[in-house]
Each structure stands twice: as C-alpha cells, then as structure tokens.
Amino acid sequence: MKLEAVTTEYRGHARDLGRQAAQSEDIELVVALGGDGTVNEVVNGLLHAGPAPERLPGLAVVPGGSTNVFARALGLPNDAVEATGALLDALREGRERTVGLGLTSGTPGTEDESVPSRWFTFNAGLGFDAGVVGRVEQHRERGKRSTHALYVRQVVRQLFGEPHRRHGTITLERPGQEPVTDLVLSIVSNTCPWTFLGNRPIYASPKATFDTGLDVFGLSRLSTAAVARYGTQLLTSSPERGPRGKHAVSLHDLTEFTLHSKVPLPLQMDGDHLGLRTSVTFTGVRRALRVIV
C-alpha cells in the first residue's frame, strides 16, 4: 500500500480532505484516525456529492477519541493498535460492508429550510441530549477533558435547567401517520448501541442497524420519577430490550420524518453540537458508504 498521512489543522479540515479524496481518481481508501467528530467530517467530505459506494473510496476507522461509537458499532476494538491490526487483516482478506447512514436537511417552508444537509453515521438528537453535548463542548473549549464523569455531571445540570421537561415542545411527523407530539427528548439512531458509558453499551433503540432505516426513541416527560425510571432502563438496556413505558416512544426503520419544535432547541449529530433549530428533516439512506471491517 502507498500511504499518505495528513494531520488535520482546523475544524472542517477532515471534511475538506474527504472531499479531495472523493474527487481523486487514484485514492481507494481513506483511513480516519480520531474520534466520532473526525469520522463525521470525513464522511461528509466523501459524500459531498451524494452516495456512490461503487465509485467512492472506502472508509476505515482507527479509534482515537474518547468514545468511538461508530468504530465500536462496526465491531472494531477500542484500542488504536488492536484496531489497526484488525483493519490490516480485513484489507488482506478483502472484508468490507456497505452501511446505511442518516441525512439531515432543512425543512421546506420553515426558517431552517436553507440549512445545509449533513450526514451522520450513528446518532443524532434534537432537544435534551443535544443540550448535554453542547454543555460538554463548552467545558472542552475551556480545556477540560471529555470524560464519562463530565458527561454525567452535564446530564444532571441539563436536567435541572430544562424548562420544558414536563411538557415537551417537539412533534414528530412522518408521511401517512399521525404525528407524535409533546416530546422532550428525541434520539435518532442509525445503529446500536447509541453510546457507551465506559465499557457499558447503551441501547436506546435496540433494533437499529446499519442495514435498515432510522430508529427514534423519544420521551414526553423528564420528571424526577421519569428520569429515574428511564435512566435505569437505559443503563440496564441490552440488544434484546430497550427502555419502555407510557412516556416512551420507540419507532423502527423510518425512511423519512421531520422533527418540529415550538421553540429553538439544540441539535447534535455524532456527538457534535450544531446550534439551535426549530425544524429538521431526517432521511435514512441505505447502502450509502463502503467501510472496511
């Protein structure tokens, strides 16, 4: 193999490099060494003109972040050296798969309709969880390390600072179905687990896979009792059983839907905080990207 290594130097640099690779005629594979944010940028660069798995370079991921959800969901070791060995074996043996991805776009007829489209690999969220991600990013900008303890502290602070935790502002609309209203939290999954707490996988939508559409887990209440109940269920979730209850909504294998909010809410994709939105349209795109496994 002929390998060219480039170090990213600014936010969005990995996206630019992915785009250059997609436009090149002699690059067969892009290897992303970093966390989920770096991987997300590379994917958005590779797919800047849309998915074409048979034509575009493949993607390999070496985990180098704090959680590495995408790499671990693909079955790779969470250690960079072990993952490199696994990827070299996969290249020698020609092992690859084509995975589906999620795509967000501005909703026509809303103030967010001009927002550029963006791909995500494993997860997105509007509302509570995106607020937690935003709080963590603020601490990281001040020099704090992204640890699981930091996430837990910000979950608690976001909970008690959430003004709509008893009466949600989010409505989920999908073609041909009744809308789901008054959601406080909406987690969109392209695979499972949704995230990890240390080495513990968290399954918000156990049926989500890279081979189907998008899954949604929503909550219509975040009272203290509801948080205790659903938080415990998330911590004890498994591939066979996720959170459930009268305030929980679980939808599987959706191709397209829109989340509207009565007030601007934070949006996150693959753990990257993207600011406030009032309306986001989600599309599940099957067989969008070749990955080495």
Q: Is 238 or 195 the better-scoring residue by pLDDT?
A: 238
Task: Tell the burial category of 212 from Cβ atoms under 10 Å away from its Cβ (0-12, 13-18, 19+).
Answer: middle
Evaluate if residue 118 carries a pLDDT over 90: yes
Q: Which residue has the higher pLDDT, 137 or 64?
A: 64
Task: Please provide the average confidence, as pLDDT, over all residues in the chain.
Answer: 91
Token pair listed for 23 = 């436009």
Range in 96-100, 157-161, 278-282 with the lowest mean pLDDT: 157-161
Contact 21, 51 (CB under 8 A): no
Q: What is residue 163's predicted lDDT score, i.e. its pLDDT? A: 66
pLDDT band (50, 70, 90) for residue 279: very high
pLDDT at 228: 85
Residue boundaries of the structural domains of the chain: 13-101, 103-285
Contacts of 120 (CB under 8 A, 6+ apart): 40, 101, 102, 103, 104, 190, 269, 270
More confident residue, 161 or 59: 59
Q: Distance between CA atoms of 274 and 259, rounded to whole angstroms?
A: 15
**Token pair 């559409």 is at which residue?**
213
Query: What CATH number was assigned to the domain covering residues 13-101?
Result: 3.40.50.10330
pLDDT value, residue 151: 67
As a whole number of angstroms, the distance between CA 219 and CA 108 comes to: 26
Verify cis geometry, omega within 30 degrees of 0, for the bond prior to 108. no
> Looking at the predicted structure, is the pLDDT value of residue 93 above 70?
yes
Residues of the chain with pLDDT > 70: what percent?
94
Q: Which of 103, 122, 123, 106 is nearest to 114 (CA)?
A: 106
Question: What's residue 144's pLDDT?
Answer: 75
- CATH, range 103-285: 2.60.200.40
Spell out the SS3 assignment of 150-199. Answer: HHHHHHHHHHHHCCCCCCCCEEEECCCCCCEEEECEEEEECCCCCEEECC
Burial of 2 from C-beta contacts in 10 A (0-12 / 13-18 / 19+): exposed
Answer yes or no: is pLDDT of 165 > 70.
Answer: no
Tell me: the pLDDT tens digits for 219-232?
998 888 888 899 89
On the question of pLDDT at 150 being above 80, the answer is no
3-state secondary structure 2-34: CCCCCCCCCCCHHHHHHHHHHHCCCCCEEEEEE
Kindly report the number of other CB atoms within 10 A of residue 246's CB atom.
Answer: 7
- Residue whose pair of structure tokens reads 């949704």 in the numeric block: 194
Kindly state the helix (H) or strand (E) to which residue 149 belongs, with its residue range: helix 148-161
